[in-house]
Amino acid sequence: MSGKHYKGPEVSCCIKYFIFGFNVIFWFLGIAFLGIGLWAWNEKGVLSNISSITDLGGFDPVWLFLVVGGVMFILGFAGCIGALRENTFLLKFFSVFLGIIFFLELTAGVLAFVFKDWIKDQLYFFINNNIRAYRDDIDLQNLIDFTQEYWQCCGAFGADDWNLNIYFNCTDSNASRERCGVPFSCCTKDPACVWDEQIVIYTKGCVPQFEKWLQDNLTIVAGIFIGIALLQIFGICLAQNLVSDIEAVRASW
């Protein structure tokens, strides 16, 4: 009689704990992003007055932290608990959710390439809409200032776009000290240029500068997106592999 025993299917510990460890980090990052977003809203009094969310005419950057943090939290939770508890439902949810995100990213990339002019128009509208809301929200103001300083630009297509803002426009009814000026982030050297010192402000708009930056860094940007896509595909494959192992073990009972 042979002393060998049949070894049934097993769950790969390497895959299981790799998914678990990776998603623990992802989960905590999601919690951190959510915490930062909620803290920022609390500082602005949004949590004590939820209706104020709709008061801002422009884009509130806090939404980025909340949305990204929420997605990371959900994915991290599903992947972490699903792998640790060998829960096939959570692992399948993790795979499908990650697949949906991958599909949306791929679709957005294709549409952005096909409808470049439409995207440019929407970006122009988005920036000008937020120029109108400048000074209404400190986070939005900081985001606009950072963008203009980083890309060395002013307005969507030029400094004249700041005429849309109630504090900087040149109308006779504007009593602001910043009348006919631009924010300090439009200045090339002297912060005093916000008042009638057009000679030392950035003359190029942020939309053309963004296009130029994208062209100059196309290889890096493409590499980042490809890297993210490969990580997502890798995560989906690992989760599906773990699901197959778990189902094979259960089928052998």
Distance CA 92, CA 73 (A): 16
Phi and psi angles of residue 201, each rounded to the nearest 5 degrees, phi first:
-110, 160
Mean residue pLDDT across the chain: 86
- Give the residue ranges of DSSP H helices in 153-217: 206-216
Query: Quick one: CATH architecture of 118-214?
Result: Orthogonal Bundle (1.10)
Break the chain into its structural domains and give their ranges. Answer: 13-115+221-251, 118-214
Q: Name residue, tokens 């002297």.
A: 190
pTM of the model: 0.79
pLDDT at 205: 94
Q: Is 76 exposed, middle or buried (0-12, 13-18, 19+ CB in 10 A)?
A: buried
Chain segment 102-158, per-residue pLDDT in tens: 999 999 888 888 898 888 888 899 899 899 989 888 888 999 999 999 999 999 999
Chain segment 3-35, per-residue pLDDT in tens: 555 556 677 889 999 999 999 998 999 999 999
